[in-house]
Amino acid sequence: MSKPIALSTLLAPWVDISAHEFHDMAISNLELDSRKITEGTTFVAIKGHAVDGRRFIESAINRGANAVIAQSCERHPQGVCSTESRVPVIYIDQLDRNLSALASRLYTLGDMKLVGVTGTNGKTTITQIIAQWLNLVGKRAAVLGTAGNGFLDALQPAVNTTGSAIEIQQTLLSIESQGADFTAMEISSHGLVQGRVKTLPFAAGVFTNLSRDHLDYHGTMEEYELAKRSLFTEHQCGKAIINVDDQVGAKWAEQLPDAIQVSLQPLSSTNAVFASQVDYSESGISLAFSGCFGDGQFSVPLIGEFNANNVLVAFTTLLALGIDKQQLIETAKQLTPVIGRMELFHNEGKAKVVVDYAHTPDALEKALMALRVHCHGKLWAIFGCGGDRDTGKRPMMAEIGERLADHVVLADDNPRSESPSAIVDDMLTGMRNPERAIIEHDRFKALQYALANSEVHDIILLAGKGHEDYQVLANETVHYSDRESAQQLLELN
């Protein structure tokens, strides 16, 4: 819980209200959603991307708001202070852009170190590996991201990868009050562009990779790249850790001379950590490393080349933060796969099923290539594409599935308001032999089909949903889990 702060002190960087009778009102909690206002909460009314919160000022006051901080407009310019039903309403310019600064004045963090991880793929895996590893060496660590917020053994569901500026600060303060030494955060391109983490002091910033995603929002890959890069150029970022096996990362490393480069290939840079040898087996990955933190080797029970990269990035980040190298090496074998990220389900006598969150062309390609190394039979791919999202990636994903898997089953992802058949038709245009693809819109039945027609040494990749336990349809969101489907059909319950 935050310590109360006087309204005039909270708003001092933007407006002087010291002459008003309500200047010393105690503010202890901020809320963007008028429906969540309770007695004594302060309502923050911004002009959002979809909803104008200023329309709900009266509703918030009726629910017990003690004050309203609102985004200015022509009718109510910067600095105007009025009252509605004896509740002060203060108007501030560009309040939407100043939310992070506003929230940080109330929800003040102490010594907890923050690690920000951005990139198209790998954010959840890297943040959770960082938190796991810190816990294993005796620190207390939490995460914020797609799979949930909080400590790993008690994650709370997250609506967005990166919440609102106010939600982030509230959550971080709550986590710190529970004893966290570190929090590893996934940072989305939306969150960066919208300034949701603008005033957070990151002890380290991490870049994973960049591939096609969110073009429905950013418009071009150039804008998407600029959004990601801003973590290192326009935010408070102590150490910068860059995956230079990614083409964009390699370019950024030249522009960010202080960044620590990470690669699975030998590097000549003196400010780098790289793999001198990587071995893959069914039991996991063995990795020997060299670079600016010295040499060593360790093994982890994860599968796939991109997980070798994820682990090395996480390892380098922790070394950069001053965590003891030998402790990290000794505890590496205790790391566990992240839920819904290349998660293996297996029962003797049946094909292996791997559930992964891959929902971009790059992620699907990496997942299939990683599994090919481990597959001694046929490789199956079950996946779909989301509705009301970037349509350009649909044929690309189908092309990748056809090229890298032996059998492709096209199923629904989150169709939302689009016709599932139309989505599949878009995907089929990317295939040379579309008639060979199996179309089964029901994901459970798709996996059922694959298991019924596969051999014991086959591997079935069930991609797109990962940890999610829901499916978004046209008029409703229903309960559905790939992980539960795998457990049920493999009779692991």
pLDDT in tens, 176-205: 999 999 999 999 888 888 888 999 999 999
Residue 50 DSSP one-character state:
S
Contact call for residues 301 and 335 (beta carbons, < 8 A): yes
Q: What's the pLDDT at 190?
A: 82
Helical spans, DSSP H, in 178-286? 189-193, 215-218, 221-233, 247-255
Q: CATH 3.90.190.20 region(s) of the chain?
A: 343-489
Q: Is the pLDDT of residue 214 over 70?
A: no
CATH code of domain 109-334: 3.40.1190.10
What does the pLDDT average to over 83-96?
Answer: 95
| pLDDT the model gives residue 197 | 92
pLDDT for 212: 56
pLDDT reported for residue 285: 93
Residue 143 has pLDDT above 70, yes or no: yes
Q: How far apart are CA 248 and CA 263, in angstroms?
A: 13
Please name the fold of domain 5-96: 3.40.1390
The distance from CA 50 to its chain's CA centroid, rounded to whole angstroms, is 22
Q: Which helix (H) or strand (E) holds 348?
A: none
Pairing between strand 67-71 and 81-84? unpaired
pLDDT of 218: 47
pLDDT band at 267 (very low <50, low <70, confident <90, very high): very high
pLDDT of residue 48: 84
Q: How many CB atoms lie within 10 A of CB 395?
A: 17
Q: What's the whole-number mean pLDDT along residues 46-54?
A: 89
Q: Are strands 5-6 and 201-207 parallel, antiparallel or unpaired?
A: unpaired
Residues of the chain within CATH 3.40.1390.10 domain(s) are: 5-96
112-to-12, 108, 291, 321, 334 alpha-carbon distances in Å: 26, 11, 28, 12, 24
Tell me the C-alpha distance between 275 and 291, whole Å: 9
Burial 323-347 (b: 16+ CB within 10 A, else e): bebeebeebbeebebbbbbbbbbee
Angle CA(174)–CA(180)–CA(182) in degrees, nearest 5?
115
pLDDT computed for residue 49 by the predictor: 76
Going by pLDDT thresholds of 50, 70 and 90, the confidence category of residue 262 is very high
Quote the CA–CA distance of 255 and 132 in Å, as a whole number.
31
| Residues 92-118, mean pLDDT to the nearest whole number | 95
What's the token pair of residue 151?
A: 């400590």
Q: Are 163 and 148 in contact (CB under 8 A)?
A: no
* Cα of 166 vs its chain's centroid, Å: 18
Task: With residue 107 as reference, give the H or E element that holds it.
Answer: none
Assess contact for 405 and 379: CB atoms under 8 A: yes
Which residue positions form the known binding site for meso-2,6-diaminopimelate?
A: 389, 413-416, 464, 468
Mean pLDDT, the chain, rounded, equals 93
Residue 161's pLDDT is 62
pLDDT reported for residue 221: 76
Question: For residue 211, how many other CB atoms are within 10 A of its CB?
Answer: 19
Residue 452 has pLDDT above 80, yes or no: yes
- Mean pLDDT, residues 28-52 taken together: 94
Give the strand order in the sheet containing 87-92: 30-31, 42-45, 67-71, 87-92, 81-84
pLDDT digits (tens, 9 = 90+) for 292-348: 999 999 999 998 888 999 999 999 999 999 999 999 999 999 999 888 989 989 999
Q: How far is CA 468 from CA 338, 462, 490, in A?
A: 13, 12, 19
- The string of pLDDT tens digits covering residues 368-407 is 998 998 888 999 999 999 999 989 999 999 999 999 999 9
Return residue ranges of the chain for CATH 3.40.1190.10.
109-334
Residues tagged in the binding site annotation for ATP = 119-125
- d(C-alpha 63, C-alpha 211), whole Å: 45
Cα gap 442→480, rounded to integer Å: 10
pTM: 0.82
Q: What pLDDT digit, counting tens, does each position of 240-254 carry? A: 999 999 999 999 999
| CATH architecture designation of domain 343-489 | Alpha-Beta Complex (3.90)
Helix (H, G, I), strand (E, B) or coil at 111: coil
User: How would you label 78-88 residue by residue, b for 16+ Cβ within 10 Å and e otherwise?
Assistant: eeebeeeeebb
pLDDT value, residue 162: 64
Residues belonging to the binding site are: 32, 34, 119-125, 160-162, 188, 194, 196, 389, 413-416, 464, 468
Say whether pLDDT at 282 is over 90. Answer: no
More confident residue, 219 or 25: 25
Whether the predicted pLDDT of 106 surpasses 80: yes
Instruction: Identify the residue whose tokens are 């929090």.
Output: 183
Dig out the tokens for 122 from the structure. Answer: 């790998």
Q: What is the pLDDT of residue 193?
A: 81
